[in-house]
Amino acid sequence: MPDQRITQFQKEAEKILHFLHTEFSKLQTGRANAALLEHVDVDAYGQRVQLKTVAGISVQDARTIVVQPWDKSVLSAVEKALQMANLGTNPVNDGVVLRINLPPMTEERRKDLVKIVQKLTEEARISIRQARQETHDRIKEEKDEDVKRTLGSALQAEVDAINAKVDDTRKKKEEEIMKV
C-alpha cells in the first residue's frame, strides 16, 4: 500500500498540473477556442459571474468566437466584459450575439506568449518544489531509516514524473503557439 505522504504529494502535484493546463487554455494562440472566454467575469444580475454561466460560447470558424447570452438584458454587460478582457480585439454586437474576430498572431506576439508559457511553467515547478519540501519534511519525522530512504526515493520518482509532465505540457503549448 502506498504511503499516505506520497499519495498526498501526488494529489497536490495533479492540482498544480491541472492549474497549469487551465492557465495555458486561456492563452490566445491565434485559433478560436471557447476556453479563451470561459473565465471572463461579467457584471450581471447585480453580481460578478463567469461568462459561461450567462451565455453560450461557440466557435464559428478558425478565427471567430460567437457569444450568445441566454438573456438579452445582459448583452451590453457581456459586451463590456469582453472589451475589458483585453483580447486584442473588440466584440461585434449585432443585437443578438457578440462575435469576436481574433486577429492573426504576429511573430512578436507569439514570442511574448512563449515567454508567458515559460513563466507559468516555472511557477508550476516552484509549486511542485514547495509540495516536495513539505512532503520531505513529513518523511524526515519517520524513525526507521530504511523507510525514510525508501519514501525519499519514491518521492523523488514522483517529482521527476510530474516535472516530465510539466515539460511535455510546456513543449506542446509552445509548438501550438509557434505554429502558423
In total, how many domains does the chain have? Answer: 2
Using the 3D structure, point to which of 51, 84, 101 is the last residue of a domain. 101
One DSSP character per residue, 6-42 reads: HHHHHHHHHHHHHHHHHHHHTS--SS--GGGTTT-EE
Residue pair 75/69 in contact (Cβ under 8 Å)? The answer is yes
pLDDT average per 10 residues of sequence, the chain (180 residues): 85 93 77 74 83 83 83 84 76 83 79 88 94 92 87 91 93 82
Residues 96 and 110 in one domain: no
Whole domain around residue 122: which residue ranges?
Answer: 4-26+106-178
Q: Give the Cα separation of 159 and 131 in Å (integer).
A: 9
Tell me the pTM. Answer: 0.70
Q: Nearest to residue 82, comparing CAs of 116, 47, 39?
A: 39
